[in-house]
């Protein structure tokens, strides 16, 4: 290994994994394994290519330094520039250090060239191999990711079709066995280990010309072919096809497949590097032998022509008399009765039938096996356990299966509970239920064996039962997109997000977001429309909405996140605005829900189904047009949501008996015509935006329509971009929030700390918003000014009494002056009122009596006069009983102003 490269690698693995050189040995040890976290990671000191977990049986994790430090292995021209004297220096370094090849073996087989892409305006050195038919294949070696998906290329206009690439050291006229692999590097890897390998250049290329030339050149002496293409579904189909075609040409064919573990693609070059890592000699030879034998076994399984042949391959490998197997997406049970089988073989050997006498050994075994009924079909489809998924909060768990059918139908994926895989009857029922026509006819014992193999060391996937940010995992998890540490993840084929060391999915399907992760499609034309139609208020609303995407992190640092109230008469545009804000998050045709409708459980579900997304409550405060009482939402229910605690006891039952109180993970937005009428604690928690029709013009009407028509694909990048900027946004909020809070508290108008804090958070979010959308300076200034005046107005609103209280005192003044009085207090400093007296008097004077229940609720908040207590027995100053003694009256008591 080059000294400079080795030096860099040693430095990194020492600091990242804690690997230490154990002099005088050639090993570094004591590193922390990233998979099992045990301090068993080791590597070689002279060539730290790979880091290997010493717990070979239990973990056996292998880390390729090339994969984790790809920056060190990328810029080869910079690291090793070619010179006049060494024109292939760069290519050699690449082949030697990135591929592990021995230059003394392959030295003359390639040239170093350069490639330049005008499309990407970038160039790279290449390693080029000439092809037999003319033309060449070359690998780009300097930061190939700059060229999009292209890492290698053929000479334009030339075709390699029909002809393989044969390493000069391989003599196809002499070889007993020729391995046919996909790429040139695969072939190079194998020839290092004395395997005669040629490259077909692609899995979909059948080297017909080369094979026919062999047929012509070696009549009656054809080599055996081993088809060793990549182990992936596309290549599987080709392998079977090429084997058939080569057999027709007269070749004996086998196949080899490298088993793929942990979803990691391992090719022959990777295996070669693993082998090189072992000391030369017996240890390495044994490993090479073992890996090649295993690959040939897997190849034999792949090209088996029927279930019986496959069973035979497995029987020879496992040496067990009973096992299950899959063939053609059906499950079979193999059980060999040796006595019966031997008898069948004997009969075939002794047979007088011409047909039987023609059978070769393999065919005879097959036939005997069929005759003794060793193979029994146990399922008409192929269930495969993908992983175990659990919800730690509810203590529920499932096994997630993919079921593939023998016919053309698309595979389905679904869950099995533990009891559904514990007995054949339950398994059969569930399978029929989820997989149309999927029939399991095996016994429970057969099922046990199948499940045992399927679930051995099965991966676990965490689940959440809401959509959005999960603080337990520090990840944003939506339906098919997830974001963590600024990186976007797509749902994989097995329906979960594979995020480095976290596997996770959401079980919730109630909030569907259409997120476009292609940020080149994200355009911000809407920003200016919001500005023109809604002005600074629109920006403040946007900043709050944006803040909802970080509500959990904000609450984690600052304990609370406010509620936003957007009010305005019909037509002022609040629904348009809210619906558009939703569209920025990929949710379409949705505004919110009415908390007075539906059951408490349904309401609780609405609060619990999102994380770091708004929960919008709409139109609960209704006009009482016909004088009837409408149901009022009890805003106090929300109080705890301010700090992220559960919105009341929700009574969601899990399988056990305990009641679960899911924390509130979202942000509350209230949209209605009139301001929220609620207790002071709720009013303090609100940031309030009042929208009006002022400023609406025919032109803004057109713009609003444009906003409504804007396709979600062009704007939902907002959520993606915002969540990707998490660390920057939070840095701004953490730093700026407290600064703004001090500024607000310094204003003479602001006296309530909570009001200062809420609005300071909004200020900070406006600053953070700049990381995501291009706000202009005058817009930012206008938004800040708006927030300052919102804070002042909020303080005024808190200072004032609730309208129903104001109304009460006005009526009280009137009634108290005209009649004998309502005040029973003998103390001038106090006012004592009996509310029934009050109602009676009011009715007599033909005054509208306020709703007493409603009144009682708010009267306790009365500031002027200040509320003292309720239900006090007061000796009346003027009312007397039959005996002319002062009456004792139950009164509400206030401090006279």
Chain contacts with Zn ion (rule: CB under 5 A): 33, 35-36, 53, 59, 61
Minimum Å gap between C-beta 501 and Zn ion is: 12
Query: Could you say which DSSP state residue 147 is in?
Result: G
The SS3 of residue 419 is helix
The dihedral formed by the CA atoms of 309, 310, 313 and 316, expressed in degrees to the nearest 10: -90
The dihedral formed by the CA atoms of 224, 225, 228 and 234, expressed in degrees to the nearest 10: -140
Minimum Å gap between C-beta 30 and Zn ion is: 13
Minimum Å gap between C-beta 283 and Zn ion is: 21
How many other CB atoms are found less than 10 A from the CB of residue 175? 18
Q: Which pair of structure tokens corresponds to residue 139?
A: 């690998």
DSSP state string for 780-810: HHHHHHHHHHHHHHHHHHHHSPPHHHHHHHH
d(CA 700, CA 691): 14
- C-beta closer to Zn ion: residue 36 or 213: 36
- C-beta closer to Zn ion: residue 67 or 708: 67
| Under 8 Å between Cβ of 299 and 257 | yes
- C-beta closer to Zn ion: residue 36 or 875: 36
- C-beta closer to Zn ion: residue 59 or 130: 59
- C-beta closer to Zn ion: residue 42 or 635: 42
d(CA 435, CA 274): 42
Tell me the pairing of strands 122-130 and 111-117. Answer: antiparallel
Minimum Å gap between C-beta 58 and Zn ion is: 7
Q: Is 135 left (phi over 0), alpha (psi -120 to 50) or beta?
A: left
Q: In what order do the strands lie in the sheet with 460-464?
A: 412-416, 396-405, 381-391, 460-464, 502-506, 497-499
- C-beta closer to Zn ion: residue 63 or 682: 63
E strand segments, 485-551: 487-490, 497-499, 502-506
Minimum Å gap between C-beta 460 and Zn ion is: 16
- C-beta closer to Zn ion: residue 35 or 459: 35
d(CA 178, CA 171): 10
- C-beta closer to Zn ion: residue 36 or 512: 36
Minimum Å gap between C-beta 675 and Zn ion is: 60
Instruction: For 883, list phi and psi in degrees, rounded to 5.
Output: -85, 10
- C-beta closer to Zn ion: residue 59 or 868: 59
Minimum Å gap between C-beta 60 and Zn ion is: 7
CA distances, 604 to each of 197, 597, 637, 659, 668 (Å): 65, 12, 11, 13, 13
Minimum Å gap between C-beta 15 and Zn ion is: 19
How many other CB atoms are found less than 10 A from the CB of residue 126? 25
The dihedral formed by the CA atoms of 678, 680, 685 and 687, expressed in degrees to the nearest 10: 70
- C-beta closer to Zn ion: residue 50 or 463: 50
- C-beta closer to Zn ion: residue 31 or 547: 31
- C-beta closer to Zn ion: residue 31 or 100: 31
- C-beta closer to Zn ion: residue 266 or 359: 266
- C-beta closer to Zn ion: residue 62 or 834: 62
Of 106, 283, 265, 78, the residue nearest 187 (C-alpha):
106
Q: Is 329 left (phi over 0), alpha (psi -120 to 50) or beta?
A: left
- C-beta closer to Zn ion: residue 36 or 798: 36
CA dihedral (478, 480, 484, 488) positive or negative: negative
d(CA 314, CA 270): 26
Burial class of residue 796, CB neighbours in 10 A (0-12, 13-18, 19+) = exposed
Minimum Å gap between C-beta 59 and Zn ion is: 3
- C-beta closer to Zn ion: residue 31 or 717: 31
Q: Do you know the residue count of the chain? A: 897
The SS3 of residue 697 is coil
- Please state the separation of Cα 705 from the chain's center in Å: 34
First to last CA, the chain: 89
d(CA 337, CA 374): 7
Minimum Å gap between C-beta 41 and Zn ion is: 7
Minimum Å gap between C-beta 55 and Zn ion is: 5
Minimum Å gap between C-beta 487 and Zn ion is: 24
Contacts 24+ apart (CB under 8 A), 593-597: 593/617, 593/618, 594/618, 594/619, 594/620, 595/620, 595/633, 596/620, 596/630, 596/631, 596/632, 596/633
Minimum Å gap between C-beta 275 and Zn ion is: 21
Minimum Å gap between C-beta 739 and Zn ion is: 46
Minimum Å gap between C-beta 167 and Zn ion is: 36
- C-beta closer to Zn ion: residue 33 or 768: 33
d(CA 745, CA 573): 32
Minimum Å gap between C-beta 502 and Zn ion is: 17
d(CA 442, CA 332): 9
Minimum Å gap between C-beta 54 and Zn ion is: 8
């Amino acid at each position: 290994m080059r000294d400079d490269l080795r030096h860099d690698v040693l430095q990194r693995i020492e600091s990242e994994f804690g690997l230490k050189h154990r002099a005088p040995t050639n090993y570094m040890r004591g590193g922390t394994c990233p998979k099992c976290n045990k301090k068993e990671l080791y590597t070689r000191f002279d060539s730290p290519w790979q880091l290997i977990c010493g717990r070979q049986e239990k973990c056996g994790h292998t880390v390729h330094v090339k994969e984790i430090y790809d920056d060190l292995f990328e810029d080869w021209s910079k690291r090793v520039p070619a010179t006049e004297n060494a024109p292939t220096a760069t290519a050699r370094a690449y082949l030697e250090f990135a591929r592990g090849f021995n230059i003394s073996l392959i030295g003359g087989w390639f040239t170093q060239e350069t490639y330049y892409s005008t499309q990407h305006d970038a160039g790279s050195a290449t390693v080029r191999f000439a092809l037999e038919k003319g033309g060449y294949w070359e690998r780009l070696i300097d930061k190939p990711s700059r060229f999009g998906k292209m890492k290698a290329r053929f000479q334009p206009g030339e075709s390699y079709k029909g002809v393989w690439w044969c390493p000069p050291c391989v003599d196809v006229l002499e070889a007993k066995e020729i391995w046919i692999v996909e790429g040139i590097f695969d072939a190079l890897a194998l020839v290092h280990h004395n395997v005669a390998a040629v490259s077909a250049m692609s899995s979909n290329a059948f080297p017909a010309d080369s094979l026919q030339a062999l047929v012509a050149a070696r009549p009656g002496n054809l080599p055996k072919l081993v088809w060793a293409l990549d182990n992936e579904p596309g290549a599987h189909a080709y392998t079977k096809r090429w084997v058939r075609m080569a057999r027709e040409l007269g070749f004996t064919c086998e196949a080899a497949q490298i088993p793929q573990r942990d979803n990691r693609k391992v090719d022959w070059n990777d295996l070669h590097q693993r082998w090189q890592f072992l000391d030369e000699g017996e240890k390495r030879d044994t490993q090479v032998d073992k890996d090649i034998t295993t690959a040939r076994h897997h190849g034999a399984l792949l090209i088996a022509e029927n279930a019986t042949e496959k069973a035979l391959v497995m029987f020879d490998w496992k040496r067990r008399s009973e096992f299950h197997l899959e063939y053609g997406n059906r499950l079979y049970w193999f059980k060999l009765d040796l006595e019966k089988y031997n008898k069948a073989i004997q009969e075939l050997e002794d047979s007088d039938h011409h047909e039987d006498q023609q059978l070769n050994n393999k065919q005879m075994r097959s036939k005997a096996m069929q005759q003794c009924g060793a193979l029994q079909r146990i399922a008409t489809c192929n269930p495969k356990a993908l992983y175990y998924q659990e919800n730690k909060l509810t203590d529920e768990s499932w096994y997630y299966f993919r079921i593939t059918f023998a016919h053309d139908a698309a595979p389905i994926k679904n869950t099995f509970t533990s009891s559904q895989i514990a007995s054949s009857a339950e398994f059969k029922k569930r399978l029929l239920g989820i997989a149309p026509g999927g029939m399991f006819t095996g016994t429970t014992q057969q099922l046990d064996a199948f499940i045992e193999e399927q679930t051995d060391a099965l991966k676990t996937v965490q689940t959440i039962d809401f959509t959005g940010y999960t603080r337990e995992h520090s990840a944003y998890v939506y339906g098919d997109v997830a974001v963590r540490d600024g990186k976007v993840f797509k749902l994989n084929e097995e329906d979960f997000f594979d995020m480095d060391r976290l596997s996770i999915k959401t079980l919730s399907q109630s909030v569907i977001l259409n997120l476009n992760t292609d940020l080149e499609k994200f355009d911000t034309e809407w920003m200016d429309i919001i500005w023109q139609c809604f002005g600074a208020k629109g920006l403040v609303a946007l900043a709050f909405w944006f803040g909802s995407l970080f509500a959990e992190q904000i609450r984690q640092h600052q304990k609370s996140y406010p509620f936003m109230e957007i009010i305005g008469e019909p037509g002022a545009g609040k629904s348009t605005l809210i619906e558009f804000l939703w569209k920025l998050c990929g949710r379409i045709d949705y505004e919110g829900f009415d908390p007075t409708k539906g059951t408490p459980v349904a309401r609780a579900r609405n609060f619990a189904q999102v994380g770091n997304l708004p929960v919008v409550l709409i139109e609960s405060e209704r006009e009482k047009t016909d004088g009837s009482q409408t149901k009022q939402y009890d805003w106090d229910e929300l109080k705890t949501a301010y700090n992220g605690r559960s919105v009341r006891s929700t009574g969601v039952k899990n399988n056990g008996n305990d009641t679960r109180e899911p924390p509130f993970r979202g942000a509350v937005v209230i949209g209605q015509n009139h301001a929220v009428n609620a207790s002071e604690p709720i009013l303090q928690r609100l940031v309030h935006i009042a929208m009006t029709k002022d400023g609406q013009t025919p032109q803004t009407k057109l713009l609003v329509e444009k906003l409504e028509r804007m396709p979600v694909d062009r704007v939902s990048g907002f959520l993606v971009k915002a969540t990707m900027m998490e660390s920057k946004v939070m840095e701004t909020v953490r730093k700026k929030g407290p600064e703004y809070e001090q500024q607000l508290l310094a204003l003479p108008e602001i006296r309530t700390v909570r009001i200062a804090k809420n609005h300071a958070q909004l200020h900070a979010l406006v600053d953070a918003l700049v990381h995501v959308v291009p706000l202009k300076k005058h817009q930012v200034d206008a938004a800040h000014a708006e927030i300052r005046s919102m804070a002042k107005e909020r303080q005024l609103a808190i200072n004032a009494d609730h309208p129903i209280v104001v109304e009460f005192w006005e009526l009280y003044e009137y009634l108290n002056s005209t009649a004998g009085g309502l005040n029973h207090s003998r103390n001038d400093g106090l006012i004592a009122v009996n509310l029934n007296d009050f109602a009676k008097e009011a009715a007599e004077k033909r005054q509208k009596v306020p709703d007493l229940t409603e009144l009682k609720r708010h009267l306790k908040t009365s500031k002027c006069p200040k509320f003292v207590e309720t239900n006090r027995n007061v000796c009346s100053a003027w009312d007397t009983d039959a005996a002319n003694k002062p009456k004792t009256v139950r009164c509400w008591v206030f401090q006279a102003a």
